[in-house]
Amino acid sequence: MVETKKDDEMTLQSKLAEQIPGLRESIKALIAEHGDKVISEVTIKQAYGGMRGVKGLICDTSLVDPEQGLIIRGIPVLELTDKLPEEIFYLLVMGELPDKAELKALQADFNKYAKLPDYVIDVLEAMPKDSHPMVMFDTGILVMERESIFRRKYTEGIPKTEYWGPILEDSISLLAKLPGLAGAVYQIRYKDGNLVDWDPKLDWAANYAKMLGCDDPNGEFTELMRLYLVLHSDHEGGNVSAFSCHTVASALSDPYYAVSAGLNGLAGPLHGLANQECLKFVLGISEKFGGAPTKKQLTEFAWDNLNSGQVIPGYGHAVLRQTDPRFTAFNDFGKKYMPDDPVFATVNLMFETVPGILKEHGKAANPWPNVDAGSGALLYHYGLTEFEYYTVLFSVSRAMGMCSQFIINRAIGTAITRPKSIGMSWIKDFIAKA
């Protein structure tokens, strides 16, 4: 249950204010002493190849280790699965988990800002009925830009050293509104348009679960939402959504502009949309075999898929070289609550079967499952069957990572993003001279 905040309590705002001067000094000293040291080189292949592996960005909130997967502020994500998402937001921003009072204070701020402005509902209702839920969600965020405290303070002439304060306030305000917005998108797009109000006694994820309106007699769906929002919260700074948000924010656009920009990237099939592809694949198998297949049937199906030149969705990763711990967390949840569900059983059988097949196939650098291999089956089990909506769930969570990176960047005064681009003639001249 969410309690109310007292005025003398330490808040995320006051603790971060204490931390910032030291942080700025450390960075200043680091640049003064080591600023000219080379940390990365760029090959022509990388310049044409999405800058893969180029170290040219700073991100302190999390890192993705090839063997261990996501590590948030030094803590492997599997050690954080019992936390509330808002505790993870605090951790991402501050570098430490909140104590009880600090969590209470943050939740009180969420309560203060959670109400979705009425005009957002009007805009969503006016959109074409076949709009993609991600378009509705991103439009809803962008239309709320008029709420930005940062933009108002900037126009009033706030000094650069204080930018982080209203950015933090905007971030909390935006995050608090996301369950209401995402819930409204779901209800308007797929249901009868009746919206559930924010309940100040519930945590962020529990509110979201309630707003989605899925059947939840034992609180399992709420538990899944907490886990889902924790697991997708952040993934370093160089992925498409984080980097897009970072770039837009570096122009001093406010969080409404920057987060919606990042989420437009998350909407792409190579990024956040992959989870719906995975569930489609798993359901295709269940449909073909009238339920969970046998190991032999699944093996044949997987080989047919590979031999026809297609990938096995949910397997492989650009950075990871092990089973994604986020997959493990979802799989443990499924084993606990729905071991006999045929869709989950298929996911589980794939986990036993596909890595061996991909190893034998010999192409994928990583034959193990990624986060998207199993999450859809769990959502499906609780009646959230509209695949197209899944990226919205991902977005609600990933907004925490984008906002926390944004807050830190304004706190340390990161410069506007402006890498140098070169053309083919430059490269040809360079090769000729080399």
Report the residue number whose CB is nearest to ligand AMX: 316
Q: Decide whether 83 or 235 has the Cβ nearer to ligand AMX.
A: 235
- How much is the CA Rg of the chain, to the nearest whole Å? 22
Question: Residue 315 or 387: which CB sits closer to ligand AMX?
Answer: 315
What are 76's strand-pairing partners?
Answer: 71
The CA distance from 182 to 22, in Å, is 37
Nearest distance, CB of residue 356 and ligand AMX, angstroms: 13
Buried b / exposed e along 385-403 (16+ C-beta atoms within 10 A): ebbebbbbbbbbbbbbbbb
The site for ligand AMX (CB under 6 A) is made up of 274, 306, 311-318, 363-366, 370, 372
How far is residue 140's CA from residue 397's CA, in Å, rounded to a whole number?
16
Instruction: Find the shortest distance in angstroms from Cβ 259 to ligand AMX.
Output: 18
- Long-range CB contact pairs, 18-22, < 8 A, 24+: 19/94, 19/95, 20/164, 20/411, 20/412
Residues identified as active-site: 271, 317, 372
3-state SS assignment for residue 97: coil
Q: Minimum distance from CB of 36 to ligand AMX (Å)?
A: 32
**Identity of the residue, 20 or 302, whose beta carbon is nearer to ligand AMX in the bound complex:** 302
Q: How far apart are CA 285 and CA 139, in angstroms?
A: 35
Given the complex with ligand AMX, which of 211 and 312 has the nearer CB atom?
Answer: 312
Q: Which is nearer to ligand AMX, 137 or 256 (CB)?
A: 137
> Between residues 10 and 365, which has the closer beta carbon with respect to ligand AMX?
365
Q: Which amino acid is at 4?
A: T
Residue 69, strand partner residues: 65
Least distance from C-beta 347 to ligand AMX, angstroms? Answer: 13
Nearest to residue 17, comparing CAs of 229, 163, 202, 157? 163
Report residue 297 CA to chain centroid gap.
34
CB of 71 to ligand AMX, least distance (A): 17
Smallest separation (angstroms) from ligand AMX to the CB of 309: 8
> CA–CA distance from 427 to each of 38, 49, 161, 243 (Å)?
21, 14, 40, 25
Our separate counts of H helices and E strands in the chain read 19, 3
Pair 240, 247: CB distance under 8 Å: no
Integer Cα distance of 264 and 430 in angstroms: 36
**Nearest residue (CB) to ligand AMX, 21 versus 53:** 53
Could you report how far apart the first and last alpha carbons of the chain are, in Å?
A: 66
Q: Smallest gap, in angstroms, from Cβ of residue 323 to ligand AMX?
A: 13
Cβ 89 vs Cβ 400: under 8 Å: yes
User: How many Å apart are CA 265 and CA 272, to the nearest integer?
Assistant: 8
Closest residue by Cα to residue 254 from 152, 335, 322:
152
